[in-house]
Structure 1
């Protein structure tokens, strides 16, 4: 039995995906942990990540800033993204689906 050589390239874990013939969609959403950050940082981080996602991909934003409850859904509505908000204690959770291009 031959010993397996180490790869010269760094390896990173691959995200779980589901393939449907022509395209692959991630099965786990990206998570942005913006807990402890104040306005406008949660929205700016979400905006940057959403610009990198394909339409239909999911993103979860966790935040504690009370203004995020207003700012994040407003940003999503203005840009065509679907946004669902839930709250557990002080923590806000935003489940976002990126708009189709």
Structure 2
């Protein structure tokens, strides 16, 4: 994907392992306004599938993009309701 996405907030969960990236992403999304975008930066490779799965099964959020870098995984999640 890798489109130019402007994030409203950035959540740094580097060094955190499952399930904490998802738990902290949910907490951060709850504090945002509708249409805000949360950028989540993680080092846990499992966050790619974990955050995607969470977004697919959670009302009110949309996974916009995921970028896999060198040991860093960046996720963009938009609050939709």
TM-score of Structure 1 vs Structure 2, range by shorter chain: 0.7 to 0.9
Unaligned 5+ segments in structure 1 are: 1-26
Larger RCO (alpha carbons 8 Å, 6+ apart):
2
TM-score of the superposed pair, with normalisation by structure 1? 0.67
Taking the TM superposition and a 5 Å limit, the aligned residue runs for 1:40-59 are 40-59=19-38
CA contact (8 A) 2:7 2:76 kept: no
Q: Secondary structure at the match of 1:93?
A: strand
RMSD, aligned CA: 1.4
What's the offset of the Cα at 1:49? 0.9
Following TM superposition, the consecutive aligned residue runs of length 4 or more in structure 1 with deviations greater than 4 angstroms are none
TM-score of the superposed pair, with normalisation by structure 2? 0.82
Taking the TM superposition and a 5 Å limit, the aligned residue runs for 1:34-45 are 34-45=13-24
Unaligned 5+ segments in structure 2 are: 1-5
Aligned length: 74
Q: Which has the larger radius of gyration?
A: 1
Distance 1:79 1:30 in 2: 20
Distance 1:52 1:29 in 2: 11
